[in-house]
Amino acid sequence: MNVLKFGGTSVGKPERMKKIAELVLATPGKKIVVLSALSGTTNTLVAIGDHLLLGQKAKAEEAISTLEKHYQGFIKDLFSSEAFQAIGEEIVSRFFIFMRMLAASQFDNKGYRELLAQGELISTELFYQHLQERKISSRLLPALYFMSIDENEEPELEKIAERLKPLIGALSNVDIIVTQGYICRNHRNEIDNLKRGGSDYTASLIGSAIRAEEIQIWTDIDGMHNNDPRIVKKTIPISELTFEEASELAYFGAKILHPSTIVPAQKYNVPVRLKNTMDEKAPGTIITGKETPGSFKAIAAKDGITAIKIKSSRMLMAYGFLRRVFEVFENYKTPIDMIATSEVAVSLTIDTNAHLAAIETELKKFGTIEVDNDQAIICIVGNKIMDQQGVLTKVFDALNEIPVRMVSCGGSANNVSVLVDKQFKDKALNALNEGLFGLK
Ligand code: ADP
Ligand code: ASP
Ligand code: MG
């Protein structure tokens, strides 16, 4: 069994949705098709939710109306027969009646998350009806029946697998099972989600739960590129990556994959293939446990980083100091990305400021604290690059004109990370593209 995930742009236009039906049909065997919301929809739902939380009902209604018109236009081109036009109209009107009902209610965070779920719920229903119109046998399996997260917002992979077994077993004579990416239930059994870009994660969780042959992520680009194509002009696709390499790139900002996508796939050794919906012949990227030799493979950047420096003479020759520092972050469920230490100071980075004030207060007990917001981690990935000679020289030669705030290497053989002020992020990515890959 394969899992095929199609992202927002892959379902964002009626002709694209028709095209993915072809791609699904061309894939042999049984498959689970995971769909995102149509491109732009989740952003609009976020905007509507923000308006509603601020009590700006008129603005919310304006955005709802614009979105509704978009869907009314979409179904006109998606369905050909009158009968299915009517089905499409019924679906769209039902969703928008529900959205307006949510908007009219006491809107809170729970309502917000319900609103965010509507994008994937409507896209899968429209796609399923499109398959019905073409008489392609398929079933819609609601993700809310099996996808769940615990109180720490971590997916419950074992439970997901247990629930999926009978659900898929009951569909043994169906080759195409369609489900929603991104959405899930939380530990209170409310509708929730796997954070932005989460449909990739849904696909890898399902693929791992059912031990799929392959998890295919179909998107608008021909695989993982060596650098961020939104920032750097000349980038090239990478044909093979290991789970570790892909995981580092996803975690450190390669938007093509949700940061956690690779984790379950690696755990159960399920290959992840990245493919381009617009160019299905392009080889894309295959991510497996197999190492491919070579030096630098790719660079990614993650911004929204805060650097914290704790200076303390008490650290001098003391043991247990770092544990006490890390405990503060643990207590506030705040992960640390990079660390650098000296005899009297420790610098580290976090990617959320949700508890920054409280963390700062607690850290002040240890010494003086310096906080720098708006930093970016640039992550350079390659097969065992840290075991190769001259790697750091090449990196720092390329970054010659850029002030580097922190460096982390040696944690993994496959990665060197540097921290720069966000204003230097684009320049650093371009400089490394030229210095490490000879591309400009
Ligand atoms: P989808 O809607 O299919 O999930 P996304 O927009 O989330 O698609 O991810 C695909 C986009 O990721 C690409 O269009 C590209 O601009 C961006 N991207 C950022 N870094 C990389 C990279 N290293 N390789 C490929 N794409 C990348
Ligand atoms: N629709 C969700 C988002 O835009 C999930 C996804 O596309 O992966 O974040
Ligand atoms: Mg995405």
- Residue 318: pLDDT over 80: no
What tens digit of pLDDT does each residue of 254-295 get? 999 999 999 999 999 999 999 999 999 999 999 999 999 888
Q: How far apart are CA 274 and CA 98, in angstroms?
A: 35
Q: How far is CA 318 from CA 295, 296, 306, 313, 364, in A?
A: 39, 38, 26, 9, 17
Instruction: Provide the residues around ligand 3 (an ion) whose CB is within 5 A.
Output: 7, 197
Report the candidate in 145, 291, 292, 288 with the shortest Cα–Cα distance to residue 213. 288
Q: How far apart are CA 290 and CA 151, in angstroms?
A: 34
Q: Among 68-72, 190-194, 365-369, whose mean pLDDT is lowest?
A: 365-369
Q: How far apart are CA 141 and CA 120, in angstroms?
A: 12
Q: How far apart are CA 33 and CA 4, in angstroms?
A: 5
What tens digit of pLDDT does each residue of 142-151 get? 999 999 999 9
Quick one: which H or E segment has residue 44? helix 41-53
Atom of ligand 1 nearest to the CA of 230: 16
């093979």: which residue's tokens? 240
Tokens describing residue 284: 């894309």
Atom of ligand 2 nearest to the CA of 194: 5
Residue 123 Cα to ligand 1 middle (Å): 20
Residue 298's DSSP bridge partners are 381
Mean pLDDT of the chain: 96
Contact 221, 254 (CB under 8 A): no
pLDDT band per the 50, 70, 90 thresholds, residue 317: low
Name the pTM for this structure.
0.96
pLDDT of residue 316: 65
- Residue 82: pLDDT over 70: yes
Q: Considering the chain, what percentage of its residues have pLDDT values greater than 90?
A: 94
What tens digit of pLDDT does each residue of 113-146 get? 999 999 999 999 999 999 999 999 999 999 999 9
Ligand at shortest distance from the CA of 302: 1
Residue 9 Cβ < 6 Å to ligand 1: yes
Q: How far apart are CA 359 and CA 95, in angstroms?
A: 42
Terminal Cα-to-Cα distance of the chain (whole angstroms)? 41
Residue 406 Cα to ligand 2 middle (Å): 32
DSSP states of 107-165: --HHHHHHHHHHHHHHHHHHHHHHHHHTT---EE--GGGT-BB-TTS-B-HHHHHHHHH
